[in-house]
Amino acid sequence: MRRLPRGVRACGLATCVGLTLVTAVAAFGCHRARVDAAVVDPPDRATAGAPAASAPAASEPPLDGAVDGDGDADGVVDGEDRCPDAPELVNGVDDGDGCPDVGPFGIRLDERGERIEHDGKIHFGLDGDAIPEEHLPLLAALAEVIQASPGLGVVRVEVHTDPRGSAEYNRLLSQRRAEAIRAALIERGVDGGRLRAIGFGADRPIVCNECDSWALSRRVEFWRDR
């Protein structure tokens, strides 16, 4: 048996380590031999030398029609908009102030800014979906306002009937009439992607005590589809 270097026995290593390690221990001193049995892992090869992670990219703004500084998306920035919560109606009346002013045929937004109202009334012939010529000027004015007012977004054309006839028949009839109104607006310049046509038949009647409920129920309405 080979003779171990001096100092190794004092550390208790003579019986548990090989000659090569003992020689190294003797060279560095006994206090170097008391090392932790755990091995320090080398740096992760996948991240070694890799550049520092960059800051996360800023999130994109929501695409909801409104732009920064123009909350109602009517083209008038909030700082110059007298009505920042309601879109401008481009109708030749104070265009540029940011407000839904009353235009020709009384075209305006209701108090909640949801429905496009007017002073006219669109009627159809009995069981028909042809638009009488007398209503075409009103539709032309509506088309001009809708197309020139992007803040309105998509406009929903609703047609309602009175309760005479079956429910299914009235729904089909009102749908044909709604499609006819939509087509007339498109013919007059409105982008078809901004128009929806829905016929409700007699499902949403107007009921009152001292009025002709049936006549009031036969109606065409224009709503902001939000």
| Per-residue DSSP letter, 150 | G
Q: What is the pTM of this model?
A: 0.64
What is the pLDDT at residue 69? Answer: 81
Measured CA to CA, the distance from residue 6 to residue 29 in angstroms comes to: 10
Across-strand partners of 156?
196, 223
Task: Give the pLDDT confidence of 117-148 residue by residue, as tens digits.
Answer: 999 999 999 999 999 999 999 999 999 999 99
Both structure tokens of 188: 């007059």
Burial 85-102 (b: 16+ CB within 10 A, else e): ebbbbbbeeebeebbbbb
What is the pLDDT at residue 9? Answer: 45
Q: What percent of the chain has pLDDT over 90?
A: 44
10-19, 73-82, 83-92, 209-218: the lowest-pLDDT one: 10-19
Measured CA to CA, the distance from residue 220 to residue 116 in angstroms comes to: 11
Where do the domains of the chain lie, and which CATH numbers do they carry?
1-36 (no CATH), 102-224 (3.30.1330.60)
41, HSE (Cβ side, Cα atoms, 13 Å): 4
pLDDT band for 74, please (50, 70, 90 cuts): low
> Given a cut of 90, is residue 65 above it in pLDDT?
no
Amino acid at 1: M
Across-strand partners of 9?
none
Measured CA to CA, the distance from residue 174 to residue 168 in angstroms comes to: 10
Measured CA to CA, the distance from residue 91 to residue 100 in angstroms comes to: 9
Measured CA to CA, the distance from residue 57 to residue 3 in angstroms comes to: 67
Exposed, middle or buried by CB within 10 Å (0-12, 13-18, 19+), for 183?
middle
